[in-house]
Amino acid sequence: MVSEFKAAGLSSTRVRIAILSAIRASRTPLSAEAVGEELTRSGCTIGRASLFRNLDLFRSAGLIERIETGNRGNQYLAKCSGNHHHHHILCEKCRSIEPVDICLSTAMLKTIEQSTDYRVTGHSLMLYGLCRKCRKRKQSRRTD
Amino acid sequence: MVSEFKAAGLSSTRVRIAILSAIRASRTPLSAEAVGEELTRSGCTIGRASLFRNLDLFRSAGLIERIETGNRGNQYLAKCSGNHHHHHILCEKCRSIEPVDICLSTAMLKTIEQSTDYRVTGHSLMLYGLCRKCRKRKQSRRTD
DNA sequence: ATAATTTTTGATACCAAGTATCAATTTTCA
DNA sequence: TGAAAATTGATACTTGGTATCAAAAATTAT
Mean pLDDT of the A3-21 span: 93
pLDDT, average across residues A6-25: 94
Instruction: Please compute the mean of the pLDDT values over residues A68-79 and round it to a whole number.
Output: 79
Residues 40-59 of A with CB under 7 A from strand D: 46-50, 53-54
pLDDT score recorded for residue B140: 45
Q: How far is the CA of A31 from the C1' of D11 (A)?
A: 23
The B 28-67 residues near strand D by Cβ under 7 Å are 31-33, 48-49, 52-53, 56
Exposed/middle/buried for residue B72 (C-beta within 10 Å: 0-12, 13-18, 19+): exposed
B43 touches chain A (CB under 8 A): no
**Which pLDDT belongs to residue A53?**
97
Mean pLDDT of B89-102: 78
A112: closest CA of chain B, how far (Å)? 7
Q: B83, B84, B65: which is closest to B75 by C-alpha?
A: B65
**pLDDT over threshold 50, residue B32:** yes
pTM: 0.74
Give the minimum alpha-carbon distance from A118 to chain B in angstroms, rounded to a whole number: 4
B33 vs A: CB within 8 A: no
Condensed to tens digits (0 to 9), the pLDDT of residues A25-49 reads 987 889 999 999 999 999 999 999 9
Strand duo A119-130 + B119-130: pairing: antiparallel
Instruction: Decide if pLDDT at B144 tops 60.
Output: no
Q: What is the pLDDT of residue A26?
A: 87
Question: What's residue A79's pLDDT?
Answer: 80
Q: Name the band, by pLDDT with cuts 50, 70 and 90, for residue B20.
A: very high
At A46 the pLDDT is: 95
Give the strand pairing for B64-67 and B75-78: antiparallel
pLDDT at B139 over 60: no
Beta-carbon contacts of residue A107 (< 8 Å; ≥ 6 apart): none
Laid out side by side, the sheet with B119-130 consists of A97-100, A87-91, A119-130, B119-130, B87-91, B97-100
Query: CB neighbours (10 Å) of residue B90?
Result: 21
Window 78-97 of A: residues touching B by CB (8 A cutoff) are 89, 91-92
Q: Test B125 with A123 for CB contact under 8 angstroms.
A: yes
